[in-house]
Chain A
Amino acid sequence: NAGVTQTPKFQVLKTGQSMTLQCAQDMNHNSMYWYRQDPGMGLRLIYYSASEGTTDKGEVPNGYNVSRLNKREFSLRLESAAPSQTSVYFCASKKEGGVVGETQYFGPGTRLLVL
C-alpha cells in the first residue's frame, strides 16, 4: 500500500514550457486534491475532484488544468509555465463522507522551478 504517489519529484522548466504532474492513490479514495505551497506559506488549493468524473476550482486555479483520469489518478497540467508557478505541489486524497472520511492523505510533493 503506497498511499499517495507523485511524479516527478523535481522538475525544472523554462518559461512557456508545458508539463503534467502525475498523482495516483491506491486507497480507493473518491476525492482528490492539488495544492501548491510557496516558501514560508501554508498550502493553497488549486483544484479538487470530489469523485471520478468531476473537477472543481479551488483558491488559485489560474494557469492550471486538471484531469481525473480514473478513480486512482488525478493529474495537474501547466500549459505555459510562468516563474510565478515555481512552488512545491502536493496531491492529496480522502474517502468521501462524514467526519471519519475527512482525513486527507498527502503525497511527498513535486518541486517545480520555472526559469
Chain B
Amino acid sequence: DAKTTQPNSMESNEEEPVHLPCNHSTISGTDYIHWYRQLPSQGPEYVIHGLTSNVNNRMASLAIAEDRKSSTLILHRATLRDAAVYYCILRDRTGSGNTGKLIFGQGTTLQVKP
C-alpha cells in the first residue's frame, strides 16, 4: 500500500474552515483516497473518499490535486465536535488489494478552540 504523510497536529477556531493536508506522492492510478476520523474514545468513522475529482458530502469536502500526489480534507465550519484524529488512507481497489484492509498512519490531531 502506498504511503501517506500528514502533519501531526493542527489547530482551528470554532466556526472557521479547516484544511487538513495529506501528501501521497507514490499514489498509483488505482488508489482511492479515503479519510476516516476518530473522535476521543471511539472507533474510527468514515468521512469521505475520492479518486480524481473533488467530492462533497454532508460531513466534508475532498479536494484532490490534479497530479493526485496530494489532497486536502475541508471542514467548512469546524465545531468542537470535530476535534478528532483525521486519517488519510490510500486504498487499492484492484486485484488482491481489494480485501478492504485499511492501513492507518498516525493521522492529524485536530484541536478546535471555542
The answer on a CB contact under 8 Å between B99 and A102 is no
Binary interface encoding of chain B residues 49-87 relative to chain A, with 1 for a CB under 8 A from any of its CBs, else 0: 101000000000000000000000000000000000001
Binary interface encoding of chain A residues 57-96 relative to chain B, with 1 for a CB under 8 A from any of its CBs, else 0: 0110000000000000000000000000000001010101
Residues of A within 8 A of B (CB): 4, 31, 33, 35, 40-45, 48, 50, 56, 58-59, 90, 92, 94, 96-99, 101-109
A94 to B34, CA, bound (A): 14
Given contacts A31-B99, A99-B93, A102-B93, is CB(A44)–CB(B46) below 8 Å? Answer: no
Decide yes or no whether B114 CB sits under 8 A from chain A.
no
Contact of B102 among A45, A50, A96, A109 (CB under 8 A): A45
Query: Which partner residue on chain A sits nearest B93 by CB separation?
Result: A99
A90 to B107, CA, bound (A): 17
Interface size class of B (residues with CB under 8 A): 20 to 34
The answer on a CB contact under 8 Å between A108 and B100 is no
Residues of B within 8 A of A (CB): 32, 34, 36, 41-46, 49, 51, 87, 91, 93, 98-107
Query: Which partner residue on chain A sits nearest B48 by CB separation?
Result: A103
Chain B nearest Cβ from A38, distance in angstroms: 11
- Residues of A contacting B87 with CB < 8 Å? 42
A56 to B87, CA, bound (A): 24
- Residues of B contacting A48 with CB < 8 Å? 99-101
